[in-house]
Amino acid sequence: MPLEHRIHKIISISPNPVADFMNISCTDQNLVEPFDFYIYDSKGQLMLNGLLNKKQYNISALPGGNYLLKVTNSGYSQTIKFVKPEFT
């Protein structure tokens, strides 16, 4: 079945809100890792990007706020909203 006909939520993250470490999982074994990833802040500014080849990422360097994680691979693309709380 072509990727565009599959259920959209192939990539998931936990926990959400994310404090320091984001756990990432893929439910489709047919997609080949690594994925390209991009994290954008609420203003659309690219904050982090790279290859998503681990199951857990340290995002402690990001300031608190609302973010979008965009994951792409072989014609597949998914965007996930997540929150990093602000600690005082």
Give Cα 3 to chain centroid, integer Å: 18
0.85 exceeded by the pTM? no
Which domains does the chain possess?
A: 3-84 (2.60.40.3080)
Tens digit of each residue's pLDDT, the chain (88 residues): 444 444 457 888 999 999 999 998 888 776 667 889 999 999 999 999 988 877 888 999 999 999 999 998 877 889 999 999 987 4
Looking at residue 6, what is its pLDDT?
45
With contact defined as beta carbons under 8 Å apart, do 70 and 77 qualify? Answer: yes
Helix or strand or coil: residue 56? strand
> Could you give the CA distance from residue 26 to residue 31 in angstroms, rounded to a whole number?
8
Instruction: Identify the pLDDT of residue 2.
Output: 46
Reference 10, options 82, 76, 81, 83; nearest CA is 76
pLDDT value of position 34: 80
76-84 β-sheet, strand order: 46-52, 35-41, 65-73, 76-84
